[in-house]
């Protein structure tokens, strides 16, 4: 367990380093997405989701795309659509099911 924790910490540091290497507009968006998504995270699996988004942004930089060309005009909608693809990494579905079951 201790080894796993150290490995996760290394991965998180490497992720943060990559975020900080993005151009300013991409970095600002990535940090905003990260802050938003951690509100819904239920575990360390969210880091994998964030790394996928980071890779997408890194590729967009390589392709010369602006942040708006990647995420559109609504950053929250972009983040929500990503969260919808990984419901197992969020607690929101559990909360929804609990709410639904409360009247049965």
Query: How confident is the prediction along the chain (104 residues), in pLDDT tens digits per residue?
Result: 778 778 888 999 999 999 999 999 999 999 999 999 888 776 667 888 899 999 999 999 999 999 999 999 999 999 988 888 877 667 777 777 788 888 86
Query: What DSSP assignment string belongs to 36-61?
Result: HHHTTB-STHHHHHHHHHHHHHHHHH
- pLDDT of 78 reads 93
- pLDDT of 52 reads 92
Domain positions in the chain: 2-101
State the pTM of this model.
Answer: 0.81
What CATH architecture is 2-101? Orthogonal Bundle (1.10)
- pLDDT of 89 reads 67
- pLDDT of 6 reads 85
Our CA angle for 99, 33, 59, nearest 5°, is: 130
């Amino acid at each position: 367990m201790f080894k796993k924790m150290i490995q996760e910490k290394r991965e998180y540091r490497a992720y943060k380093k990559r975020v900080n290497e993005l151009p300013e507009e991409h970095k600002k968006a990535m940090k905003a997405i990260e802050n938003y998504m951690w509100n819904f995270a239920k575990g360390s699996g969210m880091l994998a989701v964030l790394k996928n988004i980071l890779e997408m942004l890194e590729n967009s930089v390589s392709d010369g795309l602006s942040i708006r060309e990647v995420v559109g005009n609504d950053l929250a909608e972009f983040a929500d659509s990503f969260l919808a693809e990984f419901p197992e990494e969020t607690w929101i579905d559990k909360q929804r099911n609990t709410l639904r079951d409360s009247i049965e």
